[in-house]
C-alpha cells in the first residue's frame, strides 16, 4: 500500500515561455525505455515478485523503498512537461484558429489527445510498454545488475536532454534527478558488492562526466542530497541502512538514511486552457457545481 | 510524493495448488486495457494534469486519492498471480527437466522471463501500453465520464475472470476488488452528478448482476467496505468528503470517508524456486552476504 | 453486406494551398483511437456480435446503421487528407530533388510510403489497432455507454484539430462531422435512456462549447442536418425510429429518420504526382492500356 | 458512401458443438496480416487514394467494388467465429465457475474482453494494424501487384486453416471465400495484364492445389460463383466489365459481371450468454425497455 | 555461418554538412517495412526454412546468397545515416546547451537514445518488426512472388527518398542500392519464370522510371554492376548460375556470376561526439586503457 | 560485408518426434528480448555506430567479430525450431483435416503463417522489435555494460528453456550456446575490466549454476570450446587478442583466439510438407522446372 502526499519532491520554477518541443524531448525521461515510468515499474514489480523477502530483507527494502521515490520522479517529470507546454496556444473562438501554433510542434498528442500535458509515452510518442520495459528475472544478482545498468542508461538520457534545452524547469528537474539517480546507481552498486563481492562503484560515473558539470545539480549536492537515501516510508524498509552506509566516494561525506521523505515543494496549479476545453468549466457551470457541492453536502 | 507501507490492503489466502493458466487469465486484471495498471495510471496522470486544482479541489482530491488506492490494487493482483503459479514446476537438476510442466501452459513469459511472477501484460501477454490505455483529456466532465466507463469495464472483466477460476486466492482478491471498484464507480458517478446535474448512479450496477452474487464480496460488504472511501493520505485530499457523502443506494448505510488507509494484511513471503534461479542465492552465498552486510556495517 | 455509392456524403471544397502538417494533424481523426476508423469498426463489430438482435432490434438497428454512416466518414477524412497534402512537392527529374519540401514535414509516411495520401494511422504515424481500439463487450448497456463516451472523445479531438488549422477542406469536413457526431452522441444517449431510464442527454454537449461556435457547422445546422438520422439502407434498420424521435433539445425541431442516405457530393479526382510515380502511367503506357482494354473486350 | 443490407453473402450452417480453439485459428482470417480486415482496408484506402480515377476508371472501379465485397467477407468470418465459440461455457451463478472451460482455451480475449465473439485481431491475439497491414503506394502497377500477392497469401492462410478444423461453419465459410478469393486473384491478374502486358494468370493457382480439392468449394463452383464479379453497387463501378470478361481458364465458362450483390442469406441471431452478461438484459429490464420504447414513441 | 570483412560494399563520400532530417528520412530505408532490415531478414529466414534445399538448390542458393549481400546493404544505409547526422550538435559544457539544435529535429532517438547514429527503426521511429515484416510461407512460388514484390516496393521507397534529399552520401548509397536492387528484382523474376513459366521481367522496372534517371546510378551501371550477381561466399551457392544467366534486357550485356564479393571500400571512422559522451573515453582514460591492454597482454 | 558458408556452427541431432510446444518455447531464444536476434543486432548496430574505431580497435574488433558469430546462433536456433515442429501434422487431402493436431498448439503462426518453421518472434508470438531491443548508446563503457548484462539475461533464458524440454535437438543447441554465451559474457567482462579497471568476471556465472550442470555443455567444454574466441573473419578483427587472453578462471586452461570459424556441421535438409504446400512443387512441376533450368542455361 501507499499513502500519497500532495507535494512534489522539490519546488519547480516557472518556465520563461512556452517550449513545446522541449517538452516533447522531456517525454523520453517520462515514458521512454529509460524514463521514470520504467524505473518506477521495474522496482515496483521486482518488489512484488521478490522471493525470500525476509531472508534477504536489506535487498528487498532497497528495491521497495526506491520504488516509492520513483513515483515522485514520474510526478516531477510530468509536472515539468505540463509547465513547459503552457503558452503555446492562445484563448479564442475556434474560428480564429487559437491552436495554430501547435500544428508544427513535434508532439501532436500534447495538443489533440491531452490538454497540453504529459502522458506515458516517449519523445517520439511511442507508448511506455510493460512487457518490454520491465525486467524482473527473480534472480537477485541479475536484477541488481539490471538496475545498475538501467540507472546508468537513465543518467545518459537525462544528460543529453539537459544539453538540448536550457528551459529552467527542465534543468531544475533534471539537475535534481541526476543527483537522485546518482544515489540510486550507487545504492545498487553497493547492493551488488554485498551480493557478489565485486565493487563496481569504481566504474562510476557512467558516462564519466560527473554531476558537478551540470549547474542545477550543484545546489542540491551542496545540500548533501547526494548522500541521503530516503525510506519513503513511515516505518518500513529500515534495513536499507545495511546497504547505504559508509562514505561518499566523491566527497567523503557520510552517507545517511532518512526515514521518510524529503520536505518537498508545492504542486503547481495549472491555469485553464479554454481552447483545449480544460477543465472546461465555465463560471456559470462553476456556480451550479458550487451549489450541488453544498446541497449534496446537506444530505 | 508517496510513502509506502509494507502491507497489502487485505490478507490473501494460500491457493490449494498451482494454477498457472488461472494466473494467465488474472493477468488481464493487471496489465489489460481494463486492468489495475490502467486504473492506477489513468488517475495518476489525470491528477498530475488536473487544471485548476484549487478551484475544483473536491474533484482533484477524488482522482488523486483513488490513484493511491489503485497502487494497492496493482499490488494485490500481482501477489495473487505470484501465489497462483507456485508449484507448477519442481526443483531438480536441469537434466531432469524440472520445468517440463511449464511447456504447455498458456503464458510462457511466466516461466522464461520472470521467476513465475507477474509483469504488466495482459492475459495474452500483450504489454500494458501507456499511449493507448491512459485517457487524460483535461476536460473534467469527459475525464469523469471516462473513469465511470473504465470502472464499469473493469468490473465486467473481473466478473468474467471470477467465473473462470475457483482458485481461492483469485476469488478473494476479485471479491475485494469488486467491492472497491463498486465504491469507485459510485464515486465517479457522484462526481459526474455534481459536475453536470445528471444522476447516473441509477444506471448501476453495470453489468446488472450485483456484488452479492459473488461469495467473496459478501464478507467485505458485511464489514461495510462498500461504504468507505479512504483518502490514502495522512493529511491531504480531505475534500473528497464533499463528493462521497449521503447514503448507499443499496443498503441505505451512511457513506463515510476514512482519512488514511485500511488496516491491511501481510505481504506473502515467496519461497525460492531453485529451478528458476530465484533468488538464486545458495546457502554458501548467503553466508558470504551476511558477512559483507556486517562488515560493511562496520565502516 | 453493403453496396457502395461512388459519392462522398458532402462535397468538399478545394484547399487554397498545400498543408502537409495540417494533414498530419487530421490523421488523428482518421486512424487515432478516437478517429473514424474507430467509430466505424466499433459499431461494425458490435453489430456483428450483437446478441438477441431480434428481441432488441431497435438497438441493433441503431448500431448497425450508424456503422454504415461511419464508412462515409472514414472516406471524408481520407479525401480531406489527400486534398491537403497536394502541392507540397513539384514534378521534376529526381536529380532536382523534387520532393525536397517533404523532408521537414511531420509525417514522412505520406511521402515515402504513400503517394501523398491517407492511411489508417494517427497524427504521430501510429497504426490504427484493432485489439486496442475496438470495444465490444456484448453487454448492451456497457457498449452503449462506451459509444456515448467514444463520440464525446471524438468530438473533443475534432474540435481541437479545427482550432489547429484554418484550411478550408479540413474545416468543411470537421464542421460536417461535428454535426453528424452530435446526432450520434444524442442517439446513443437516447438509447441509453431507453435501456436504463437515465437521461444523459442533459450532459451534452461535451465539451460544453456547442456546435454553433464553429463556422462550418452553421450551414449544416441551418439545413437541419443535426435532426436527421439516416438508415443508410434501402430497406433495413427501420426500427431506429423507435429511438430517434421527439424533438431536438437545442432548437426544438422535430427529429426525423431518413430511409437511405444523404444526397452526397462528388468524389474529387486526384491529379497525378509524377514525382511520387503515382499513378505512374505514362501517356505511352496509357495508349497501350487503352488498346489492351479494347482488345481484351473483343474476346 | 455505402448502404448496408441486413444479410450475409451466404447462409451459414450451425456448428455441431463448441470449438473455441478452432475459432481462435479462424481469427487469423479476420485480423491477421492476410485476413479480411486487410483485404477490406487495402482496397478501401487504395480506392480513396486512387489518382486519375476518371482516366483509369476500369482499374478504379475494380478496386472500389471489391472493397465492398470484402466488407461482407469480414462479416462472414466474424459471424463464423461467433457461432463456433458458442457453447464453451454454461449459464450459472458465478460461484459455480460457469466459465471454467474457458480457462485453458487459446484465446482469452474471447472470454474476458468480448462476450465470446470476434474482434479484429489475429490467431495469437495481435491487433490488426493499419500502418503495417495496408499497402497503398499510389503506383498503379505496384498496387495491383501487391493485391495479386495479398490474395495469394490470403488463399494460403485459408487453405491451412481449413486443414486445421472440420467444423462445418468454418468449412462453409472458407469454401465460399476460396471461390471468391479465386475471383479476386484472377481479376487482379487480368488488371495487371492490361496494365503491363504480362499475363500472370498462368501462375495460378498459388499454392498449386486447386479449389476443387476442398469439398465446400465444389457446390459454389457448380453454381458458377467462380465466374461472377459483382459490382456491389446499384449503379456505379460498371467499368469492371472492361477487365472481367472472356472465359474462365479452368472450365471455359463465360465470365460475367453482376450489377449489385449476391442474393445472400440470413444473419444468425445469437442467443444470450448470461454468464458473459450479454446482452445482460433481464426479463424485468426488458419489460421496462418495452415501455420506454413505446412511451418515448408517444412524444 | 558467416565470416565478416571489415569493409563496406562501396566507398561512401563525406556529406557536405549535417542533415539530421535527411537522415531521419533515410531511416525508412533501414528499418521500414521495405527497408534493408526487411530484405536481409526475409531472405535469411526463408533460407533457414527452405524445404528440399538439395532438390531445389538453384533457388535455395539464390535466396541464401542474396541474404549475405543484404547484410552489406544494412551496413551501407547505417553508415550513411551516421555520416549525415554528424555536425548537428557542437561540443561544449552541458550548461551551454550544446545539443540545442537537436531539439527541433524530426528524430529525437538519434540524439537521446543513440550517439547520433542509426538503429533499426523507420522514418517515424517505429521499430523494425520481425513478426510483421518477414514473410516466409515456405511455398516456393509464393515466397518468390513476395520477394519480387518486396524489391519493387523497396525500389519505390529508395526513389522517393532520393528525391527528398540531395545529400551526397545519401545519393551515392541510394544510387548503388538502386542498381543492386535492380539485380535482385530481376533475379527473383527469373527464378519465378523458371518456377512457373511466366516471364514477369517484362513488367520491369516498377515504378517505370528506369535507373538511368538517377545520377548516382549511372557510374555503377557504366561499370557493369547491374549485370553481376555475387555469391558472397567463397565456395557455396554456385548454382545461382543456373538462374542468373543470359543477357541483360536493357543493354544486352552478358549477365555474370561472381564467386565472392565486390572489392568494397573503407568503413568510415566516426569522430567522437563529446556532447553525446561517445565513445566517452577521455585522454586520461585512454592512457589507463592502453596500460591495461598491455598489462593484461603480459598475463 | 560478410561472406556466407553453407554450414551450421555445429551438427544438430534429429529430434525423436514432433514437439511443437517445445518449439514455441525455443522461439524465445530466437525472437525474444534476450534471444539471438537481439545479440546479433545489438552488436551489429554497435559495430556500425562505433566511434573512434581505430583508436579503440580492440573493443571494436570484439563487438564486430561477435556479431558474426551471432548470425550463426540465429541460424542454429532457427534450424532447431524447424526440426522440432516437423511431424505435428500429416499429409493428406484437405478434407481429412491433415493439420488437425495443430489447432491446439501454442503457436498458430507456425502452422498458418509459415510452413512449420521459425520466424523472428518470441515464445508468445510477439515480433522481435528493433527500436526496443537494440541498445546502442555510443558510450563505450555503457555499451559494454549492457552487453555483459544482455549475455547474462540470455543465459538465464536458455537455462530455463533447457529445463522445459528434453528434446535432444533443443538440448544440443542450448548446450552449445551456453558454452558460447559463456565465452561472450567473459569477453565483455574482460573488455569492461580493461576499460574501467573493475574486474567483474568475479560475478560470474550469473545465474550462479555453472555450465557443467547441463549435460550437453560438457562435451563442448571437454573440447575446449569455452576457451576459444573465433574472429569469424579471414583477416580482420585480430585485435580481439588484446582482450581475449590469459587463462580461463574455471579450469585454468589457456584462452585462445582462432582466426576464422569453427569447423561446423551440415545444414539439415528439411523434407516437404505437402499439407503446408511447402515447397509446393509437384513432381510434374519439378520436371518442367528442370527443363527450364537447362533451357535457360542454354542462352
> Residue E270 is nearest to which of F51, F271, F293, comparing CB atoms?
F51
Instruction: Please report which confidence band the pLDDT of residue F298 belongs to, taking 50, 70 and 90 as the band edges.
Output: very low
Kindly report, residue by residue over F40-53, the tens digit of the pLDDT. 999 999 999 999 99
The beta-carbon neighbor of F142 closest among A33, A199, A207 is: A207
Helices (H) and strands (E) in chain C, counts: 9, 3
* SS3 at position A259: coil
Of F106, F123, F163, the CB nearest to B98: F163
Cα separation, D24 vs A180, whole angstroms: 48
Mutate to test the interface with C, among A112, A127, A130, A272 (most CBs of C within 10 A): A112
> Residue written as cell 522440432?
F84
Residues of chain B neighbouring C137 (CB-CB closer than 8 A): 153, 156
pLDDT digits (tens, 9 = 90+) for C233-287: 999 999 999 999 999 998 899 999 999 999 999 999 999 999 999 999 999 999 9
Distance CA F290, CA B123 (A): 51
Nearest CA in chain F to B279: F207
What percent of chain A stands above pLDDT 90?
Answer: 96
Are the beta carbons of A55 and B286 separated by less than 8 Å? yes
A250 labelled ligand-binding: no
Confidence of residue D144 (pLDDT cuts 50, 70, 90): very high
Query: pLDDT grade, residue A298 (50/70/90)?
Result: very low
The verdict on a CB contact (< 8 Å) between F200 and A198 is yes
The model's confidence at residue E171, banded by pLDDT at 50, 70 and 90, is: very high
With bands split at pLDDT 50, 70 and 90, how would you rate the model's confidence at C296? low
What fold does the segment set C20-271 form as a domain?
Ferritin (1.20.1260)
How wide is the angle at C-alpha A129 spanned by C-alphas A123 and A130, nearest 5°? Answer: 145
With a cut of 50, say whether residue C299 has pLDDT above it.
no
Q: What was the pLDDT predicted at C295?
A: 79
> A194 CA to chain E: closest CA distance, Å?
26
User: With contact defined as beta carbons under 8 Å apart, do C93 and C45 qualify?
Assistant: no
Residues of F with CB under 8 A from a CB of A: 33, 126, 129, 131-133, 135, 137, 139, 141-142, 145-146, 148-149, 152-153, 156, 192, 196-200, 202-203, 206-208
pLDDT at B228: 98
Best mutation site among D279, D290, D295 for testing chain C: the one with the most C CBs within 10 Å?
D279
pLDDT on residue D295: 79
E36 is in an annotated binding site: yes
Name the average pLDDT for chain D. 96
CB-nearest to D41 from C120, C278, C280 is C120
Instruction: Tell me the CA distances in angstroms from B217 to B75, B178, B204, F48, F188, one per residue in order.
Output: 19, 7, 17, 59, 54
Interface E:A, ≥3 CB–CB pairs < 8 Å: yes
Residue E165: list chain C partners with CB under 8 A. 97, 100, 103
D86-110 per-residue burial string, b: 16 or more CB within 10 A, e: under 16: bbbbeeeebeebbbbbbbbbbbbbb
| Surface-to-core class of residue C200, CB atoms within 10 Å of its CB (0-12 exposed, 13-18 middle, 19+ buried) | buried
List the grid coordinates of B112: 522464461
Asked if the model's pLDDT at residue E298 lies above 90, the reply is no
Against a cut of 0.95, is the pTM above it?
yes
Contacts of A112 in chain C (CB under 8 A): 25, 28, 32, 123, 157, 160-161, 164
Q: Show residues of chain D in contact with C45, CB under 8 Å.
A: 78, 117-120
Report pLDDT digits (tens) over A146-177. 999 999 999 999 999 999 999 999 999 999 99
The residues of F whose Cβ lies within 8 A of any Cβ of B are 21-22, 24-25, 28, 32-33, 106, 123-124, 126, 156-157, 159-166, 207-209, 213-215
* Closest chain F C-alpha to D163 CA, distance in angstroms: 4
Would you list which residues of D are annotated within the binding site for Mn(2+)?
A: 36, 70, 73, 151, 184
User: Under DSSP, is residue A2 helix (H, G, I), strand (E, B) or coil?
Assistant: strand
pLDDT at residue F15, as a whole number: 87
CA dist., res. C226 & res. C250, Å (int)? 10
Cα-based angle E172, E176, E178 (whole degrees, multiple of 5): 115
CA distance B218 to chain A (A): 23
The reported pLDDT for the residue numbered D222 is 96
Q: Report whether pLDDT(A125) > 90.
A: yes
Contact by Cβ (8 Å): D71, D77: no
Model pLDDT, residue B246:
95
CA distance C19 to F213: 65
In angstroms, the separation between the Cα of residue F280 and the nearest Cα of chain D is: 7
Closest to A149 in 3D by CA, of F147, F29, E279: F147
Residues of A in contact with E109 (CB under 8 A): 123-124
Interface B-F, measured as beta-carbon pairs within 8 A, has a size of 72
Residue B251 has a CB neighbour count (10 Å cut-off) of 11
Q: For helices A168-196 and A20-31, what crossing angle results, to 10°?
A: 20
**Most C CBs within 10 Å: which of B130, B151, B153, as the mutation test of the C interface?**
B153
User: Number of A:E CB contacts under 8 A?
Assistant: 72
| Record: contact F106-B108, CB cut-off 8 A | yes
For residue C274, what is the nearest residue in chain D, using CA coordinates?
D139
Q: What is the per-residue pLDDT across F168-178, written as a single tens digit (0 to 9) for each?
A: 999 999 999 99
Separation between Cα atoms, residue E58 and residue E193, nearest integer Å: 13
DSSP D257: E
**DSSP-assigned letter for residue D271:** P
Mean pLDDT of all residues in D214-223: 97
Question: How far is the C-alpha of E90 from the C-alpha of E116, rounded, in Å?
Answer: 12
**Per-residue tens of pLDDT for chain B, all 299 residues:** 999 999 999 999 998 899 999 999 999 999 999 999 999 999 999 999 999 999 999 999 999 999 999 999 999 999 999 999 999 999 999 999 999 999 999 999 999 999 999 999 999 999 999 999 999 999 999 999 999 999 999 999 999 999 999 999 999 999 999 999 999 999 999 999 999 999 999 999 999 999 999 999 999 999 999 999 999 999 999 999 999 999 999 889 999 999 999 999 999 999 999 999 999 999 999 999 999 998 755 44
User: Least CB-CB distance to B124: which of D95, D100, D125?
Assistant: D125
Q: N- to C-terminal Cα distance for chain F?
A: 32
F129 phi-psi bin (left φ>0, alpha ψ -120 to 50, beta other): beta
Encode pLDDT of C151-168 as tens digits. 999 999 999 999 999 999
Query: For chain C, what is the mean pLDDT?
Result: 96
Is the pLDDT at D239 greater than 70, yes or no? Answer: yes
Task: Write out the H or E segment, with its range, that includes residue E31.
Answer: helix E20-31
Q: Is A226 annotated as a binding residue?
A: no
From E277, which residue of chain A is nearest by alpha-carbon distance?
A207
pLDDT digits (tens, 9 = 90+) for D75-127: 999 999 999 999 999 999 999 999 999 999 999 999 999 999 999 999 999 99
Q: pLDDT tens digit string along F20-39?
A: 999 999 999 999 999 999 99
Q: What is the pLDDT of residue F16?
A: 85
Chain A residues with CB within 8 Å of chain C CB: 89, 93-95, 97-100, 102-104, 106-109, 111-113, 124-126, 275-277, 280, 282, 285
Residue D299 has which C-alpha cell? 412524444
> Can you read off the three cell numbers belonging to residue E80?
550513411
Residue with cell 574466441: F229
| pLDDT for position F296 | 59
The residue-averaged pLDDT of A136-147 equals 98
Cβ neighbours of E126 in C, within 8 Å: 125-126
List, for residues F199-220, the tens digit of each pLDDT value. Answer: 999 999 999 999 999 999 999 9
CA angle, D221 as apex, D215 and D223 as ends, to 5°?
120
Please, what is the average pLDDT of chain A?
A: 96
pLDDT reported for residue A15: 87
The pLDDT of residue B237 is: 98
Task: For E142, name the nearest residue in chain D, comparing CA atoms only.
Answer: D206
How far is F70 from chain D, CA to nearest CA, in Å? 28
Nearest to B273 among A50, A51, A128 (CB): A51
How large a percentage of chain D has pLDDT more than 90?
96
Angstroms from D179 CA to nearest CA on chain E: 19
Is F160 within 8 Å of B95 when comparing Cβ atoms?
A: no
Residue E295: pLDDT band by 50, 70, 90 thresholds?
confident
Residue D169, pLDDT > 60, answer yes
Closest CA–CA distance from residue F125 to any residue of chain B (Å): 9
Average predicted confidence (pLDDT) for chain F:
96
Mean of the pLDDT values across residues D152-178? 98
The C-alpha cell 585454468 sits at F252
Chain F contact set for D28 (CB, 8 A): 108, 112-113
Spell out which residues of chain E touch residue F67, defining contact as CB-CB under 8 Å: 4
Candidate from B126, B149, B203 with C-beta closest to C196: B203
Is the predicted pLDDT of residue E299 greater than 70, yes or no?
no
Q: Confirm whether residue A184 is marked as ligand binding.
A: yes
Amino acid at each position: 500500500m501507499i499513502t500519497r502526499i500532495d507535494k512534489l519532491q522539490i519546488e519547480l520554477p516557472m518556465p520563461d515561455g512556452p517550449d513545446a518541443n522541449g517538452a516533447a524531448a522531456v517525454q523520453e525521461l517520462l515514458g521512454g525505455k529509460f524514463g521514470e515510468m520504467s524505473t518506477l515499474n521495474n522496482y515496483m514489480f521486482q518488489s512484488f515478485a521478490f522471493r525470500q523477502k525476509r531472508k534477504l530483507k536489506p535487498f528487498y527494502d532497497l528495491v521497495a523503498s526506491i520504488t516509492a521515490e520513483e513515483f515522485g520522479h514520474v510526478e516531477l517529470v510530468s509536472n515539468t512537461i505540463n509547465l513547459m507546454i503552457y503558452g503555446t496556444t492562445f484563448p479564442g473562438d475556434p474560428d480564429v484558429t487559437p491552436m495554430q501554433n501547435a500544428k508544427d510542434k513535434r508532439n501532436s498528442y500534447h495538443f489533440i489527445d491531452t490538454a497540453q500535458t504529459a502522458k506515458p509515452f516517449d519523445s517520439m510518442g511511442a507508448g511506455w510498454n510493460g512487457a518490454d520495459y520491465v525486467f524482473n528475472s527473480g534472480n537477485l544478482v541479475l536484477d541488481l545488475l539490471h538496475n545498475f545498468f538501467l540507472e546508468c542508461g537513465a543518467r545518459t538520457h537525462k544528460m543529453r536532454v539537459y544539453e538540448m534545452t536550457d528551459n529552467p524547469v527542465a534543468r531544475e528537474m533534471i539537475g535534481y534527478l541526476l543527483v537522485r539517480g546518482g544515489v540510486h546507481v550507487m545504492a545498487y552498486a553497493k547492493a551488488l558488492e554485498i551480493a557478489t563481492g565485486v565493487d563496481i562503484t569504481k566504474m562510476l560515473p557512467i558516462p564519466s562526466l560527473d554531476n558537478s558539470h551540470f549547474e542545477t545539480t550543484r545546489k542540491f549536492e551542496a545540500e548533501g542530497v547526494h548522500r541521503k537515501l530516503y525510506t519513503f516510508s513511515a516505518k518500513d524498509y529500515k534495513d536499507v541502512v545495511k546497504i547505504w552506509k559508509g562514505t561518499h566516494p566523491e566527497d567523503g561525506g557520510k552517507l545517511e538514511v532518512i526515514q521518510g521523505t524529503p520536505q518537498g515543494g508545492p504542486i503547481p496549479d495549472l491555469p485553464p486552457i479554454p481552447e483545449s476545453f480544460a477543465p472546461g468549466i465555465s463560471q456559470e457551470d462553476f456556480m451550479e457545481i458550487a451549489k450541488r457541492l453544498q446541497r449534496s453536502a446537506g444530505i
